[in-house]
Structure formats: C-alpha cells, structure tokens
Amino acid sequence: QAQLVESGGGSVQAGGSLRLSCEYFDDANNERCMGWFRRALGKKREGVAGVEGDGPRKYADSVKGRFTVSKDIAKRTLYLQMNSLMPDDSAMYFCAVRNGVRCPEPDAAEKSDYTIAWGQGTQVTVSS
C-alpha cells in the first residue's frame, strides 16, 4: 500500500482554483511536518507549503495569499487549496512527510528534508 495517495490535479484556466488532496495511512503523520512540493517541466523541484502537525503553516513567497495548506486529522488527509492560479503554477505537485514536527521554510526546502514518504504526484496545468 502506498504511504501517500494524491488526487485533485487537473487542467484549469488562469484565475481558476483547484484543491489537491494527499491521503495518508500512518497516524504518526498527524504530528509530523507535511509539505507540498512542485516540479515544473525543465525546472528544479521547489517547496510550496508546509504544515507543522495540524498547526503553523508556511508558504513559498510565490504562493502566499493564493494557496492554503491544511490537514484534516480525522480524515488523515493533507490539502492544498489553490486559488487565483497562474500558468506559472503548472507543475507536478507532490506531498511529502518529514521526520519531525518543524517544517523548513518552503523557499529553502529540499527533497532531502522530507525523508519519511513521498506521494506519486498529481499534475496541475493552468492555461492562459
């Protein structure tokens, strides 16, 4: 069984919204930092957002005010609500789990900061 299962990607026009979901199956993740990353074609993977337990949230500068990360512990699901989408948001989006409570700042986060699990990715395409 996969440790993380993502869903919710799709194609939208600029200005539209999508909500990504990341279901997890280990209750230990309730207390851990969980984050979202994205990788656009030809670009490096970059951090998008993170939530510490189900509390403090952090965002990359490029998505502040547009994206909201949240976690529903009862449903064992991490979410990323994306509003006011722009073509530059087009990418494969991944959720990930870090071995610890504190999340790194997304703008500085690396793949190696999240070592517990990674999802398979869900594609988001935003057309102008």
Q: For 8-44, what is each residue's pLDDT tens digit?
A: 999 999 999 999 999 999 999 999 999 999 999 999 9
pLDDT number for residue 74: 96
Question: In the predicted model, is pLDDT for residue 54 greater than 90?
Answer: no
% of the chain at pLDDT higher than 90 = 96
pLDDT category, 90, cuts 50, 70, 90?
very high
Whether the CB-CB separation of 69 and 24 falls below 8 Å is answered with: no
- In 3D space, the residue among 29, 10, 23 whose CA is nearest the CA of residue 93 turns out to be 10
DSSP-derived letter for residue 104 is P
